[in-house]
Amino acid sequence: MSNPLDDMEKPDVIFCIGTNMTECHPVAATRIKRAIAKGAKLIVADPRQVALAELADIHLPLRVGSDVSLLLAMAHVIARDGLVDEAFLEERTTEGTKFLDHVAEYPPEWAESITGVDAKLIEQAAQWYGAAERGAIYYTLGITEHICGVDNVQSLCNLALVTGNIGREGTGINPMRGQNNIQGAGDCGALPNNYPGFQSVLDPANQAKFAEAYGKEVDLELGPTKVQALDMCGDLIRAMIINGENTVVTDPDREHCEHALKSLDHFVVIDIFLTETAKLADVVLPATAWAETDGVCANTERRVQRLRKAVTPPGEAKPDWWIVSRIAQRMGLEGFTFNSAKEVFNELCGLSPIYAGLDWDRIERGEYLWPVPHKEHKGTPILHRGEFENGRGIFQLIEYRDPAETISPEFPVWLTTGRRLAAYHTRTQTGRSAGIDYLLSEETLEVNPSDVATWGLEDGGWCTLTSPRGSVRVKVESNKRSPPGTVFVSFSFDDVPVNVLTGGGYDPVTHTAELKVCPVRVEPSL
Amino acid sequence: MDRNQYDYEITLDGERVPVTRGETIYEVSERHRKSIPTLCYDPRLEPLGACRLCIVEIEGARNPVASCTTVAQPGMKVTTKSARLEMHRRVLMEMVGSENRDLDVDPLSGYASDEMATLLDRYDARTKRFAGSRSGTSRPDDDNPFILRDYENCISCYRCVRVCAEQEGDYAISMMNRGFETQITTEFEGLLKDSACTFCGQCIQTCPTGALADVKALANKDVPGETEKTRTVCPYCGVGCSVDVMTRDDKVVGILPAMDGPANKGALCVKGQFAFDFVSHPERLAAPLVRGDDGELHETDWDTALDRAATGFAQAAENHGRQSVYGIASGRAPHEAAYMMQRFIRGGFGTNQIDNCSRA
């Protein structure tokens, strides 16, 4: 997030797109509700009538995967109606004129033909956001899990730049991170393009710095992403170690994924349960869990906080860092003689400019939001104040393109996937916590009542979903959250392995799968 | 408070104290550790002035006023403690104490659950002087596994109703009837499950009597030993809510939201509040496993497992090149896990064959 969570109560216009926040980030959603109570206007763009949409002043029920066209048209209206922040454009951005010329070609009527949203509603939303004193954008995977995920994010950046809604209190572009330490995994350099602290692996100066620190020169070239690596399994990739991810259930195209992992010569999994993924491994190493492990995490607002051990782990379970460092030692590698989480974290701080001002003891109370470049620094709750890291904000000229797969006579229904409040990911944890089943005991397919009748289904009956990659059987739940022609299911339940169906396409830059769009056929089943 | 930042002064128990415009007498008094008693007050909520325990005397006013709802005005002379105030407070405590079935509650019930019992002791008010009928009808029919609804111990402070509305924005519960007949209920007097309730547990954590209580934590009330609290961060989404993990006898017995948590300020959701017991689930992996010649996974010791893991990576690198080894870090494990994974790949093989699970 460019801005802290505290800022969520400060905008006068909030634009939420592709975020089912009340279910996926419930505590953050309470901030939005309080902002509304204080008088903020809420615009929600989501194909489904999610709870946030029910609270919205304007709901833009766009067709799945049509976000770019909506955002182009909003920029068009902002330019047309004189809502551009000229001073911001002049002082802090480049390519602004080209951008304004570009969006002139995309009026709301054009977007209506793609999104299915009334042009008047698009206009109204753009005018509100454009005229806001403080306009803030919040988004989640509904933006990124598309073949055009990067285009979607850049379209949102364009909107913030053209209205000057960045670098100030109560504004910003704010992705809500989905896992407790997914931000931290990136911060720590578990990325094929960056060393810790987002230092590029292509920069020879960084190469030299880490060669000295690690005693090994690292290639001056990008590694493959996880998605590419799974494609290479059994061929260029022969051995893999996965820590705490139930890859075969969470990732698209399950059959492909299982086949990839089975074709490895050597597969090691570190986890707290024998997950579907761990069952495929040659070696499974038991990790300590939450409440058993001392460590550090970073939340969606870049806040660096301590995790503390409260109970003894079961049996022989060990902290993840211990396990990996001991494998390294067994291989005869130098420099892996760590004995505490504190030692590990402090080494990270010494190598990462954004953590340079932090250490294990300084983050005791969790008040720092990175970057914290030196010991006297108080942290950076709001990014891009005064200046962008690369100087000026650059407008990107984005064109709309269709999802990888679009509906056809054979697969005439849009399937979109997501999460539910009472389940977390593949239920390795929530599914093993008493009482959760009382709230959510099985997965269902959300189908609009008008479609239930048309497709010969029954509320509570069974149906089969079929995509070009496979079929899944699931119970039907008739409700109006999904619009006619679109159905929704979560990926949390192993007996409804929806990722058997997904995987039609990937974003060319991030390789994130288009999990939010998957044309299917829906047929009654016994 | 920085003397340069206040707006004016009032006199509090004979002492001149600085005040910021808009502060209530209660807030000023709290800063000066006056420990004025309250039952309907939660610093996160709009003050209600219902319990009347926080009454103070203001020079020139005929009757005591509720300090939680009275804004401190320039020059006010306030008395927070006097024989008259203490007598009022004692009688009020005797009245609420007489009405309730249980005066002592297990601290596992919730964050604020001992507030009433503490005040009963402070005012020596366990007299049951006004014993008679009790207000509130409990809902044993609500079989939800999280929130106990024991309204016979309710004192109608409305903190639950207010936290649900003001803090959560859910408006799942409200009050029905008035006076002695007041009853906290849901729309159509049904089960919480059939209401707008999201089971975030905030009503439990603000209840000062244990009338609303944490069913999951209370299931551990017979676990021996003192309850210890450890501050950490919720294991679920990326909001990073601070929690205090309650443990007894080396077992996690419940979760309290951290009221001073920088990201959540006391709020939690159903997962963070209630989905904690996976850590002690019998299916937890407790020993390393290696695949045997029979194709099955078998338990082994660390020595064997680490050797097997290390040998496999060394062989892959030797036979197929160092790029043939790939590491995937977790978005669920701490920094140290992700950092060590990338250090292993970069420092061990000199490649960037490393990613985390953020792309799916």
Tell me the pLDDT tens digit for each residue of A148-185.
Answer: 999 999 999 999 999 999 999 999 999 999 999 999 99
Alpha helices by DSSP H, B100-220: 115-122, 159-162, 202-206, 215-218
Kindly list the residues from chain B whose CB atom is less than 8 angstroms away from the CB atom of residue A34: 166, 169
Question: Is the separation of the CB atoms in A26 and A421 below 8 Å?
Answer: yes
The helix (H) or strand (E) run that includes residue A317 is none
- Reported pTM: 0.95
The answer to whether the CB atoms of A299 and B240 lie below 8 A apart is yes
Q: What is the pLDDT of residue A41?
A: 98
Instruction: Write down the pLDDT at residue B3.
Output: 56
Q: Is the pLDDT of residue A239 over 90?
A: yes
Q: Which residues of B touch A294 (CB under 8 A)?
A: 334
What single DSSP character describes residue A278?
G
pLDDT at B2: 55
User: Which residue shows structure tokens 């209840």?
Assistant: B207
CB contact (8 A) between residue A181 and residue B334:
yes
Q: How many CB pairs under 8 A join A and B?
A: 491
Helix (H) or strand (E) holding A525: strand A518-525
pLDDT of residue B360: 66
pLDDT score recorded for residue A37: 93
Listed residue (A283, A224, A226) closest to A257, CA to CA: A226
Q: Rounded distance, CA A41 to CA A19, Å?
A: 17
Backbone φ and ψ of A179, nearest 5°: -115, 155
Give the DSSP letter of residue A133.
S
- Judge whether A151 and A398 are in contact, CB under 8 Å: yes
Number of H helices, E strands in chain A: 19, 20
The CATH code that applies to domain A413-525 is 2.40.40.20
Q: How far is Cα B315 from Cα A357, in angstroms, rounded to an integer?
A: 40
> Domain A182-355 belongs to what topology?
Rossmann fold (3.40.50)
CATH for the stretch B224-284: 2.20.25.90
Contact B190, B202 (CB under 8 A): no
Amino acid at A434: A
Pick from A94-108, A118-132, B186-200, B263-277: least confident: B186-200
The ipTM assigned to this model is: 0.96
State the pLDDT at residue A506.
93
Quote the minimal CA–CA distance from B234 to chain A in Å.
7
pLDDT at B186: 86
Task: For residue A222, give the DSSP letter.
Answer: P
Any idea which fold B3-81 has?
Answer: Ubiquitin-like (UB roll) (3.10.20)
**How crowded is the C-beta side of B154, counted as CA atoms within 13 Å?**
27
CB within 8 A of B351, min separation 6: which ones?
A218, A219, A223, B322, B323, B325, B345
B238 touches chain A (CB under 8 A): yes
Interchain contact, B348 vs A216, CB within 8 Å = yes
Q: Looking at the complex, does the CB of residue A202 fall below 8 Å from at least one CB of chain B?
A: no
204-233 of B, contacting A, C-beta below 8 A: 215-216, 228, 230-233
Asked if the Cβ–Cβ distance from A218 to B352 is below 8 Å, we say yes
pLDDT of residue A249: 85
Give the chain A residue whose CA is nearest to the CA of B215. Answer: A435
Q: Angle at the Cα of A189 (from A183 to A194), degrees rounded to 5?
A: 110
Letter string b/e over residues B109-143, b meaning 16 or more CB atoms within 10 A of that residue's CB: bbbbbbbbbebbeebebeeeeeeeebbbebbeeee
CA B283, CA A243: separation in Å to the nearest integer? 18
CA A237 to chain centre: 26
Q: CA A314, CA B280: separation in Å to the nearest integer?
A: 8
Burial A405-438 (b: 16+ CB within 10 A, else e): bebeeebebbbbbbbbbbbbbbbbbbbbbbbbee
Q: Where are the domains of chain A?
A: 5-176, 182-355, 413-525
Q: Measuring CA to CA, how many Å separate B299 from each of A172, A282, B118?
A: 51, 12, 51
Please give the residue of chain A at the shortest CA–CA distance from B294: A282
CATH number of B103-219: 3.30.70.20
CB B269 within 8 A of CB A28: no
| DSSP-assigned letter for residue A514 | -
Q: What is the pLDDT along chain B (360 residues), one digit of tens a residue?
A: 455 678 999 999 999 999 999 999 999 999 999 999 999 999 999 999 999 999 999 999 999 999 999 999 999 999 999 999 999 999 999 999 988 888 889 999 999 999 999 999 999 999 988 887 777 888 889 999 999 999 999 999 999 999 999 999 999 998 888 877 788 888 888 999 999 999 999 999 999 999 999 999 999 999 999 999 999 999 999 999 999 999 999 999 999 999 999 999 999 999 999 999 999 999 999 999 999 999 999 999 999 999 999 999 999 999 999 999 999 999 999 999 999 999 999 999 999 999 998 876
In a mutational test of the A interface, the residue from B239, B298, B319 whose CB has the highest number of chain A CBs within 10 Å is B239
Task: Calculate mean pLDDT across residues A11-35.
Answer: 97
The CATH architecture assigned to A5-176 reads 3-Layer(aba) Sandwich (3.40)
- DSSP code at position B67: T
The nearest CA of chain A is from the CA of B13 a distance in Å of 34
pLDDT of residue A459: 97
First-residue to last-residue Cα distance in chain A: 46
Pairing between β-strand A413-418 and β-strand A486-490 as defined by DSSP bridges: parallel
Angle at A260 between CA A259 and CA A266, to 5 degrees: 115
> In chain A, positions 396-435, which contact chain B (CB-CB < 8 Å)?
421-422, 424, 428-430, 432-435
The pLDDT tens digits for B50-109 are 999 999 999 999 999 999 999 999 999 999 999 999 999 999 999 999 888 888 899 999
Counting beta carbons within 10 angstroms of the beta carbon of residue B75, is it exposed (0 to 12), middle (13 to 18) or buried (19 or more)? exposed
| Rounded-to-integer distance, Cα A489 and Cα A496, Å | 9
Chain A: nearest CA to B145, how far in angstroms? 5
Say whether pLDDT at A205 is over 70.
Answer: yes
Is B3-81's fold the same as B103-219's? no
Is B203 in contact with B212 (CB distance < 8 Å)?
yes
- Domain range annotation of chain B: 3-81, 103-219, 224-284, 289-359
Residues 120-179 of B with CB under 8 A from A: 144-146, 166-169
DSSP per-residue letters across B293-347: TTSSEEE--HHHHHHHHHHHHHHHHHHH-GGGEEEEE-SSS-HHHHHHHHHHHHH
Torsional sign, CA B14, B15, B19, B24: negative
Across A243-272, average pLDDT? 93
